[in-house]
């Protein structure tokens, strides 16, 4: 624990444009790297609950590979209806490690 942030992965584990599943304080979280920055969203697609971490990044969105629903990395909003939103989590990346803030 580091001011509300918990170490979740090493930087090398989260590749550009790809998803990566991590467990932080009992929560399933999908990490994605886009244009060098890491983003964290809840790892459960609101469509049918599939792991979003199996997906990839396209045009700033995480794409669920199961039926191609897309969620903006910055705020978790579904690209066809912003009332459907995935929780997003703050990220810190320091010294080759990725930390996720979950308020726990």
Ordered DSSP codes for 5-51: EEEEEEGGGS-BTBEEEEEETTEEEEEEEETTEEEEEESS-TTT---
What number of other Cβ atoms are within 10 A of residue 88's Cβ?
18
* Closest approach of ligand FES to the CB of residue 30, in Å: 11
Nearer to ligand FES, 70 or 99 (CB): 70
* Closest approach of ligand FES to the CB of residue 72, in Å: 15
Asked if 88 interacts with ligand FES (CB under 6 A), we say: no
- Interactions with ligand FES, residue window 40-69 (CB under 6 A): 45, 47-48, 50, 64, 66-67, 69
> What separation, in Å, do the N-terminal and C-terminal C-alpha atoms of the chain show?
9
CA distance 45 to 89: 15
Nearer to ligand FES, 2 or 48 (CB): 48
Binding site for ligand FES (CB under 6 A): 45, 47-48, 50, 64, 66-67, 69
């Amino acid at each position: 624990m580091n001011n509300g942030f918990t170490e979740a992965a090493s930087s090398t584990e989260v590749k550009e444009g790809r998803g990566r599943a991590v467990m932080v304080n009992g929560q399933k979280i999908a990490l994605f790297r886009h244009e060098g920055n890491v983003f964290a969203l809840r790892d459960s697609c609101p469509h049918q609950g599939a792991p979003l971490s199996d997906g990839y990044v396209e045009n700033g969105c995480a794409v669920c590979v199961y039926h191609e629903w897309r969620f903006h990395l910055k705020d978790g909003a579904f690209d066809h209806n912003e009332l459907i939103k995935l929780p997003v989590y703050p990220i810190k990346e320091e010294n080759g490690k990725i930390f996720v803030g979950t308020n726990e």
